[in-house]
Amino acid sequence: MSGKKRIWVAITARPSYSRIRSALESLQRREDVELSILCSGSALLDRYGRVIDLIRADGFRVVDELYTFVEGDDLVNMALTMAATTNHTAAALHRGKPDVVVTIADRYETMGTAVAAAYLGIPLIHVQGGEITGNIDEKVRHAITKMADMHFVSTALAGNRVARMGEAPCSIHVTGCPSVDLARESADVSVVDLQAVLDSLGTGAHVDIEQDFLVVMQHPETDAHGESFSQMATVLDAVNQLAIPAVLFWPNVDAGSDGTSKAIRMFRERGGDDKIRFIKNLEGRQFLALLRQSQCLIGNSSVGIRESAYLGVPVVNIGDRQLGRERCNNVIDVACKTDAIFGAVRAQVNHGRYASSTLYGDGFAGDRIAALVAGETPDTRKRFHDV
Amino acid sequence: MSGKKRIWVAITARPSYSRIRSALESLQRREDVELSILCSGSALLDRYGRVIDLIRADGFRVVDELYTFVEGDDLVNMALTMAATTNHTAAALHRGKPDVVVTIADRYETMGTAVAAAYLGIPLIHVQGGEITGNIDEKVRHAITKMADMHFVSTALAGNRVARMGEAPCSIHVTGCPSVDLARESADVSVVDLQAVLDSLGTGAHVDIEQDFLVVMQHPETDAHGESFSQMATVLDAVNQLAIPAVLFWPNVDAGSDGTSKAIRMFRERGGDDKIRFIKNLEGRQFLALLRQSQCLIGNSSVGIRESAYLGVPVVNIGDRQLGRERCNNVIDVACKTDAIFGAVRAQVNHGRYASSTLYGDGFAGDRIAALVAGETPDTRKRFHDV
Amino acid sequence: MSGKKRIWVAITARPSYSRIRSALESLQRREDVELSILCSGSALLDRYGRVIDLIRADGFRVVDELYTFVEGDDLVNMALTMAATTNHTAAALHRGKPDVVVTIADRYETMGTAVAAAYLGIPLIHVQGGEITGNIDEKVRHAITKMADMHFVSTALAGNRVARMGEAPCSIHVTGCPSVDLARESADVSVVDLQAVLDSLGTGAHVDIEQDFLVVMQHPETDAHGESFSQMATVLDAVNQLAIPAVLFWPNVDAGSDGTSKAIRMFRERGGDDKIRFIKNLEGRQFLALLRQSQCLIGNSSVGIRESAYLGVPVVNIGDRQLGRERCNNVIDVACKTDAIFGAVRAQVNHGRYASSTLYGDGFAGDRIAALVAGETPDTRKRFHDV
Amino acid sequence: MSGKKRIWVAITARPSYSRIRSALESLQRREDVELSILCSGSALLDRYGRVIDLIRADGFRVVDELYTFVEGDDLVNMALTMAATTNHTAAALHRGKPDVVVTIADRYETMGTAVAAAYLGIPLIHVQGGEITGNIDEKVRHAITKMADMHFVSTALAGNRVARMGEAPCSIHVTGCPSVDLARESADVSVVDLQAVLDSLGTGAHVDIEQDFLVVMQHPETDAHGESFSQMATVLDAVNQLAIPAVLFWPNVDAGSDGTSKAIRMFRERGGDDKIRFIKNLEGRQFLALLRQSQCLIGNSSVGIRESAYLGVPVVNIGDRQLGRERCNNVIDVACKTDAIFGAVRAQVNHGRYASSTLYGDGFAGDRIAALVAGETPDTRKRFHDV
């Protein structure tokens, strides 16, 4: 009707939104595009910070909100949630018939978006394929690559892998990761404002971000289902012994997240938290400004690999969750043991800031992605590209 | 308990069963295996020949029957059916907790089996990956490869593709296609018995299989959704002009199948069917014996590429459905036009039988597959295998 | 926004639309109402005449089309379809937030509409409660009454039953059945036009509707699941022996419908159909004009009880499906036996037309219903009304 | 096979189990019955005390565990959860084909059990129909009555209502409520043991149960969706002003429960909890022994109406949730206002214990129910019973 290209971006969880936000802002500014966000899964849930409210507050149009999260602390819940996501996303796409669907990264529900779009014959763009990690995400990520018609990857090596998997070279674009755009922009956040935000959000100790402090972000490992509790307990133990103030983020949703949350709750109930501030959720740029300000990031989040490379923040990466991901020299990998974590953090705090790296992008991925999405629509009739 | 390895094989449609049957028989004979069949989708439906009844009659144990087929003649129904398959298969796997799940080929619902097994952390074996075709199956097949932990491929080239996609070489086995086993065994079917079966099943003209006759098997093309009707009408037109007796098989289930069926019904109502016998379903070995006996196979079924290579039957392959599949010299590819089909069938009938090829297997894939399935269980924690 | 009352009417099957159509037309004419139709279940299926296309052709706005029909010839499919209806209707109501939902009669999927509306706190109006029949519909109908906030019943006795069930008297309105409105209007259909329509639709013999002919409409009985085949075969046997031309309608969708259809197909293949015209679907007024013109209606359809009373058409009602429904003297009830059916039809043909009855309405229910729906919105916080 | 009657009892939430437990124990003791529990919904969730673990620990056989709870704090989640319950319960019943299904009370998911059993033609027994309350439960309860084939009611008046709704008198049995059996048996719990359990569970202040204390149990009101937060805050305010030690139970799951939980968490964070012990869950008999020991129950739980009548415990019942339920003189009803609650609790504490009433049962319902369930199986072909 309007002649505008109708783009739907599927957001199923808070981290996906943080990651893609700069591209959304760039798309929103374009005249030739009608941008809509399709929210489902944990994006609608209080327990995971209801990023849908943030998306609306940021001025984006939410075309549909799909409750698809089947609660439970068992592996089967991932499959059931994926099925519900496929089911309701398919119905929404059938109704709305967008020109293109964009899906981000590799969370288990994102497969539901990918399947729905592919089966309905709607061109599917995948952001952040071709990387390597260490759990169910690994299978999901590459399977989505094989469902998708166009690929925006973060690194040259990731692009090579996507090509090896049989995707046509012309469908692969090394855009860099849009999450690095936020890292670049986070330089604009005032430390005073950030301190105020931190003080007003969350619970626990006051942490002065102009002094030394750590950031802790530990997600449950889905392969090591059941060990989430003890892993988080170990991390908390190490942080406690370090006796440096810390800002800790509640975990994202996954099978096992209840174990992680429980470890945090028990730690608090035992009173081990007198130097820690607990945060459920922080706006993306603010989070990265916090990271930029910190002495060290501890945990198993991909932020330690990607945005931290650009920021030059020292990282202690725990366990196998990021195994296989390309990384810069700002990362020390350790097993999930108190002593190992303690020692590595001490070393990183002593080392201080690293040089900034553009391995995962130069901070302008969003505009590149927006231009490509708004450009030529990929053909959905693809075939394995033999070399 | 029993110490036997508990194997679940998912069957969602009649062709999958025909394809895997020799491997199932080999597994059933083993002492170290408890074999169960998980039926869903069109395997339970009257309109598609209820292969579940045949499976039970053949002496296999059906561990669960899952109604997952969401009826409708629109692309969205594939996604909804896939979602229902994931949903109920996940619940069944959660209850039964088999040691291994086997899934076959690339129909759209098979993705539901793959997702359910992968998310539940149950080792997944995929039969018949690495091939190339021309519709949604292409995406589904390779996506399943990326969800699976072990791969049984039909040809060396298919194995190379699976490896290129990042699967570990030790997880890939060139077993040949078990459907070729049935082709080999079909030599044992007596022509007299076969004639009797043919006469008792289906409707329409009597066809004498000791005289010249054609076999017609045309599936709807999902990418060309909506054209199924006119394609089938074209095929029927050509067959009618050829004036050679023919055995025609009703289509399998897919978005668009109603168009194909409608074309057949209209053709019959207009009385164009005086030389054609219409069959809904035929036991696998009998079908292949029929093919072996025929002058030419017409249509777009993969049988024309695979089993027919071994049988040396002349094939006229119509349209793009098998585009990209490796083939032998017994196949003539034509566009879906009456003249082209007419001419190619004439040429094939004149040529007569081709030499047998083992491109898709030597007829002993079943035993190989059974031994591998019963052997070491693959690890579900895989990672992209960089070269 | 517009100030108009936003009414959604759920249509899950062809008969519901025929029944409510006059009320929809009356609502459509009102300035104070924005009318939308929510289609799901068999209303979208080719096999059941895709009434959704008719609804659109009639100028109504379809707000959503929900594929919810889980195919299969087992009782479990009714429950699975009901679940899918609840699931997708809830999502649609959550998105659209209408002011009122209207649901009709007692098919098993209608429970899905009722549950979705009730749980979402949207006022629910039920048309045609309080009647008595003989299968699962009986449970569904009264359960919907207990979920609904307002009741439009066909007869005074039905209204009394709804009141007995604890519904507040002020929420119960004896509007008559809107299907009778069509029966009244069917007098306007020209016999010549009707003959032309009949000749162009369906298959089989030519039937001259200005001569004697019968109408056959036999639905599967869900309680006698499995017997549908033999019942339809018996009916066809009787019709065959009567040797009077007949117009036969294919069955509606239900567990067991495949049995009914199969009996018809076998009857045709045996060539017993030389005096019968087979129709899949006929527009409501035309169908009733056909009935008005016929000598006798044979089968187990509610049309024999309701519209036929108004039309004064002789009816032979077979089996238990309408057991318990109030009826006029134009109905002869018989068991499903060839002789019984044969004799009763003979008697009815000899008797000829009956006097018109207003037991199920005076032919002006649509306007009454439209005025009530457009009027005061019922409160959803109801309580059992103790006398 | 065994000749035993195969009974499945559906448990979707903790309170249902507490309520029916004495009947389960009686059924478990019978030789002629094979008892299985079908668990779904919040019965599997950590946040709601995973009653499934308790059921297994109590020695009952769980035939299936169905994850059906679609998380989210919106009304639509009730409908989605109901749909998932219907879907998976239908699949489980289709597989297991029990002789009888028993469903309890009126939570929104229980409708899923009722629909699944009714559509599959499995005799359905409903426990606790015919009562009157004030929210969605009211619709669900009576709708289940109309789906069920046999009714065990708590009071004579409830039985009269079920009969009025058209159920055959012979299908209605006034058994009393089995929850009262636990109330009777709670006399056997030692106060010393109970004190120990209370001290080891939950968090917050120590409460000495041989001194004066209150019990607080406030559920979210689904009709007043969104007000749950302020209602709980009001209750906590009143309890705080009373300055009597209290044991407070976390809410059960419902749309809005997050609001209730949030009010409790905020109250704790503000430090208002120095006299309160917070409990997530307590075994049924222990809970009732605690109640028996307390000076007053405050909240809107049905326990205040039913078990408390038998126990003679003073109750302050808040708001409309129990509106319409028969009650004894031990209950003072108040609006949800701080002053009103404060005053009523004062009055009740001054009054002290009331005489025991058998309005909701004499404490022997379990044996009565077990004998009836094990006895004659009801016919599923019911019809409205006109008087």
Contact A76, D88 (CB under 8 A): no
For A355, other C-beta atoms within 10 Å of its C-beta total 9
CB A78 within 8 A of CB A102: no
Tens-digit pLDDT profile for residues A124-179:
999 999 999 867 899 999 999 999 999 999 999 999 999 999 999 999 999 999 99
pLDDT at position B238, please?
95
**Could you tell me which of C42, C70, C50, C72 has the C-alpha nearest to residue C256?**
C72
Residue of B50, B64, B66, B67 to mutate, interface with C, max C Cβ within 10 Å: B67
pLDDT for the residue D332? 97
Query: What is the distance between the alpha carbons of residues D67 and A83, in angstroms, rounded to a whole number?
Result: 13
Task: State how far residue D22 is from chain C, nearest Cα, in angstroms.
Answer: 29
Q: A89, A66 in Cβ contact below 8 A?
A: yes
The pLDDT assigned to B386 comes to 84
DSSP state of A70: B
Whether D135 and C381 lie within 8 Å, measured CB to CB:
yes
Give the pLDDT confidence score for residue C228 in this predicted structure: 85
For residue C88, give how far its alpha carbon lies from the nearest alpha carbon of chain B (Å): 11
Average pLDDT on D266-285 reads 85
Mean pLDDT value across residues D158-185: 96
Cβ-defined contact of B87 to A108 (cutoff 8 Å)? no
Which helix (H) or strand (E) segment holds residue C10: the answer is: strand C5-11
Q: Is D46 touching A (CB cutoff 8 A)?
A: yes
Q: Supply the mean pLDDT for chain C.
A: 93
The interface pTM score, or ipTM, of the predicted complex is 0.89
- Using CA atoms, how far apart are residues C111 and C323, in angstroms rounded to an integer? 21
Instruction: Establish, for the pair of chains C and D, how many residue pairs have beta carbons separated by less than 8 Å.
Output: 155
Chain D: residue nearest B66 by CA?
A: D91
Fill in the amino acid letter for C107.
Answer: R
Whether the pLDDT of residue D310 is over 80: the answer is yes
Nearest CA of chain C to the CA of A132: how many Å?
36
The band of B203, judged by pLDDT with boundaries at 50, 70 and 90, is confident
Average pLDDT over residues B195-208: 92
Which residues have C-beta within 8 Å of that of residue B11, sequence separation ≥ 6?
B17, B20, B37, B38, B39, B40, B43, B51, B52, B55, B104
Share of chain D above pLDDT 70, in %: 97
CB B21 within 8 A of CB B39: no
CA distance C79 to chain A (A): 18
Answer whether B4's CB lies under 8 Å from B33's CB.
yes
Nearest CA in chain B to C48: B72
Q: Mean per-residue pLDDT for C163-173?
A: 97
How high is the pLDDT of residue C202?
83
Q: What superfamily would CATH give domain C5-177+361-374? A: Glycogen Phosphorylase B; (3.40.50.2000)
Nearest-by-Cβ selection for D138 from C84, C91, C383: C383
B87 touches chain A (CB under 8 A): yes
Structure-token match 């009269």, residue found: D160
Instruction: Identify the band that residue C49 occupies on the pLDDT scale cut at 50, 70 and 90.
Output: confident
pLDDT in tens, C314-366: 999 999 888 888 999 999 999 999 999 999 999 999 999 999 999 999 999 99
Mean pLDDT in residue range D90-119: 97
Mean predicted confidence (pLDDT) in C220-235 = 80
Contact status, residue C156 vs residue C130, Cβ threshold 8 Å: no
Q: What is the pTM (predicted TM-score) of this model?
A: 0.91
φ and ψ at C23, to 5 degrees? -70, -40
Q: What pLDDT, on a 0 to 100 scale, did the predictor assign at position D265?
A: 85
pLDDT at residue B256 above 60? Answer: no
Q: pLDDT per residue over A56-98, tens digit each?
A: 999 999 999 999 999 998 999 999 999 999 999 999 999 999 9
In this complex, is the C-beta atom of A64 within 8 Å of any C-beta atom belonging to chain C? yes
Place B323 in a pLDDT band, splitting at 50, 70 and 90: confident
Region B163-171 average pLDDT: 97
Query: Mean pLDDT for chain D?
Result: 93
Q: Determine whether the interchain pair A91/C95 forms a contact, defined as Cβ–Cβ distance below 8 Å.
A: no
Same fold, D5-177+361-374 and D183-351: yes
Name the band, by pLDDT with cuts 50, 70 and 90, for residue B63.
Answer: very high
**What Cα–Cα distance (Å) separates residue B116 from each residue in A79, B102, D215?**
5, 12, 45
pLDDT of residue C157: 96
- Long-range CB pairs of B92-97 (<8 Å, 24+ gap) are B92/B38, B92/B63, B92/B64, B92/B66, B93/A76, B93/B8, B93/B117, B93/B120, B93/B122, B94/A74, B94/A75, B94/A76, B94/B120, B94/D65, B95/D64, B96/B6, B96/B8, B96/B36, B96/B63, B96/B64, B97/B122
Q: For B77-99, what is the mean pLDDT?
A: 98
Pairing of strands D203-204, D276-279: antiparallel
Cβ atoms of D153 and D173 closer than 8 Å: yes
pLDDT at site D135? 78
CB–CB contact A76 D67 (8 Å)? yes
Rounded mean pLDDT of D226-254?
Answer: 88
Residue B70 reports pLDDT greater than 70: yes
For D157-171, give the DSSP string: HHHHHHHHTT--GGG
Across the interface, of A45, A67, A258, the residue whose CB is closest to D76 is: A67
Question: Would the pLDDT of D157 be above 80?
Answer: yes
Question: Does D87 contact B at CB distance below 8 Å?
Answer: yes
Check: CB of residue B328 under 8 Å from CB of residue B359. yes
Helix, strand, coil percentages, rounded to 5, for chain B = 45, 15, 40
Write the CB contacts of D66 (distance below 8 Å, at least 6 apart in sequence). B91, D38, D39, D40, D41, D44, D85, D88, D89, D92
Tell me if residue D150 falls in helix, strand or coil.
strand
Q: Give the mean pLDDT of chain B.
A: 93
Query: Residue D313 above 70 pLDDT?
Result: yes
pLDDT of residue C379: 93
Q: Decide: residue B316, CB within 10 A, 0-12 exposed, 13-18 middle, 19+ buried.
A: buried
Other CB atoms within 10 A of residue B192 CB: 10
When mean pLDDT is compared across B279-293, B299-313, C216-230, D15-29, the lowest value belongs to: C216-230
Max mean pLDDT among A42-46, A364-368, B130-134, B302-306 falls in A364-368
State the fold for domain B183-351. Answer: Rossmann fold (3.40.50)
- Is the per-residue pLDDT at A225 higher than 70? no
As a whole number of angstroms, the distance between CA C69 and CA B224 comes to 24
List the Cα angle C70/C73/C75 in 5-degree steps. 80
Range A276-310 burial, b when 16+ CB lie within 10 A, else e: bbbbebbbbbbbbbbbbbbbbbbbbbbbbbbbbbb
Q: Does residue B224 carry a pLDDT above 80?
A: no
What mean pLDDT is predicted for residues D374-379? 94
- Does A69 sit within 8 Å of D71, measured CB to CB? yes
The confidence band for D225, taking pLDDT boundaries of 50, 70 and 90, is low
Minimum Cα–Cα distance from B84: chain A residue = A83
Q: What percent of chain C is modeled with pLDDT above 70?
A: 96
- Please report which helix (H) or strand (E) contains residue D214, including its range: strand D214-217
Q: Do B45 and C76 touch (CB under 8 A)?
A: no
Q: Give the Cα separation of B195 and B189 in Å (integer).
A: 10
Interval C269-281 mean pLDDT:
85
Which chain B residues touch A319 with a CB distance below 8 Å?
none
What string of DSSP letters covers B323-340? TT----TTEEEE-S-HHH
Once rounded to an integer, what is the mean pLDDT over residues D65-90? 97
D76 touches chain C (CB under 8 A): yes
- For chain D, the C-alpha Rg in angstroms (whole number) is 20
Minimum-distance CB partner of B74 among C67, C84, C269 = C67
Cβ burial, residue C200 (10 Å; 0-12/13-18/19+): exposed
pLDDT given for residue B280 in this prediction: 85
By the CB < 8 Å criterion, does A36 face chain C? no
What is the average pLDDT across D285-291?
95
The pLDDT value recorded for residue D351 is 97
3-state secondary structure of B102: strand
Judged against a pLDDT cut of 80, whether residue C255 lies above it is answered with: no
Domain ranges of chain C: 5-177+361-374, 183-351
- What is the number of CB-based contacts under 8 A between chain A and chain C? 14
Instruction: Over range B172-180, report the average pLDDT.
Output: 96
The mean pLDDT of C268-277, rounded to a whole number, is: 84
